[in-house]
Amino acid sequence: VRRLAIALVHHPVLDRDGAIVTSAVTNLDVHDIARSARTYGASDYFVVHPIEAQRGLVERIVTHWREGSSAARIPDRKEALSVLSTVPSLEAAIERLGGRGAVELWATSARSRPDSLGYADASARLAEDGPAVLLVLGTSWGLAPEVVAACDRVLAPVGCEARGDGFNHLSVRAACAIMLDRLTSRR
Amino acid sequence: VRRLAIALVHHPVLDRDGAIVTSAVTNLDVHDIARSARTYGASDYFVVHPIEAQRGLVERIVTHWREGSSAARIPDRKEALSVLSTVPSLEAAIERLGGRGAVELWATSARSRPDSLGYADASARLAEDGPAVLLVLGTSWGLAPEVVAACDRVLAPVGCEARGDGFNHLSVRAACAIMLDRLTSRR
């Protein structure tokens, strides 16, 4: 079984007009994705933000739940947040996993592509031996094309194939939970 | 294909000590569950709260996204929130679906039970003809036993079977997204 990690990218991401922007941290992205990551056995959840004050905000939230009054009140949350760390860039997350040669990057996208990696294939690959897999998720309107291009594979979108009308407006928190559930179904 | 609806219950639910409480509305429960519901083809998302001021808060959030400045800014959110309505009780949600004879209630729980309904079985049942299915989700530490007892079936938990260590601390938003993905996989 390969090591599975998650990166939530706040820059470079797209806004609704397709411009490259930096998004703000969302409190429940911190909690929900850490909870899903720990439940499904991901080793790491990297919150990627280039702005130090935004990383500091995340660390303050995490410290409250790891060491503050809430750590005693809800020990499961402390445990979930133990997988979270902040990094200034995707490169820093890759370094933390042992460098580019030790990690395969799987981008995620709400758009279908001809060469998308499907979940049956992806979960079988995860169950084999091999380098760590870093699941790269974008905030706002999704990862900038340059980030997707730098990844090894792009996972198929979740949600939209289930219905005919093509409506797909899952939150990144929901999409991440569904992906983890599908990817680890063979474990 | 049967009609599928979701109820998010704020009372009666359990607190961490097992006492019956009424939980407060969480803003991102409003957004995330509506987005997942609409994406996966659920017809209705009922936010169940006995306190009028809390229902009013939800309606104010929804109105901002349906009619306010954000409706034009993010039309997909307006569309997602079109499935949401507030009701004072689970009984009121059942009435909205045509009454007790027209709806089957499936409780959800993070605990496994001997008679839990598995997802292969549940998605096959949903694909047949039959009464509407109302998926009943609890906030806080989960549905009160009296609510579970009043339901026709209890769905198997998601998350924890994927790993050996039994840690399961998914948010209700994440659990709902995973359940919808699993339940509609045959559609």
Tokens of B137: 């989700």
User: Which pLDDT score is estimated for B90?
Assistant: 98
Residue B100 contacts A where some CB pair is shorter than 8 Å: no
User: Which pLDDT score is estimated for A161?
Assistant: 61
Residue B134 contacts A where some CB pair is shorter than 8 Å: no
CA–CA min distance B44, chain A (Å): 16
Which residue is closest to B16 within chain A, CA to CA? A74
Q: What angle do CA A127, A129, A130 make, to 5 degrees?
A: 115
Residue B74 contacts A where some CB pair is shorter than 8 Å: yes
Bridge partners (DSSP) of residue B135 are B6, B106
Rounded to an integer, the average pLDDT of A47-52 is 98
Looking at chain A, the whole-number percentage of residues with pLDDT higher than 90 is: 87
Residues 75-94, chain A, touching B (beta carbon < 8 A): 76-77, 79-80
ipTM: 0.95
User: Which pLDDT score is estimated for B185?
Assistant: 77
Per-residue pLDDT of chain B (187 residues; tens, 9 = 90+): 899 999 999 999 999 999 999 999 999 999 999 999 999 999 999 999 999 999 999 999 999 999 988 888 899 999 999 999 999 999 999 999 999 999 999 999 988 889 999 999 999 999 999 999 999 999 999 999 999 999 999 999 998 665 567 899 999 999 999 999 999 975 4
Put residue B50 in one of left, alpha, beta given phi > 0 → left and psi -120 to 50 → alpha: alpha
CA–CA min distance A84, chain B (Å): 15
A173: nearest CB among B168, B174, B181: B174
User: Which pLDDT score is estimated for B187?
Assistant: 47
**Rounded to an integer, what distance in angstroms lies between the CA atom of residue B145 and that of residue B151?**
10
Neighbours of B51 (CB within 10 A): 14
Q: pLDDT tens-digit profile of A125-173?
A: 999 999 999 999 999 999 999 999 999 999 999 986 655 678 999 999 9
B32: nearest CB among A39, A74, A173: A173
Residue B186 contacts A where some CB pair is shorter than 8 Å: no
Sign for the CA dihedral angle at A175, A103, A111, A14 comes to positive
Residue A120 has pLDDT above 70, yes or no: yes
Contacts of A162 in chain B (CB under 8 A): 39-41, 181, 184-185, 187
Inspect the interface and report whether the beta carbons of A184 and B170 lie closer than 8 Å: no
Which residue is closest to A1 within chain B, CA to CA? B163
Q: Strand pairing of B13-14 and B20-21?
A: antiparallel
Nearest CA to B14 out of B24, B22, B6 is that of: B22
From residue B50, alpha-carbon distances to A99, A163, B59, B129 in Å are 53, 33, 14, 33
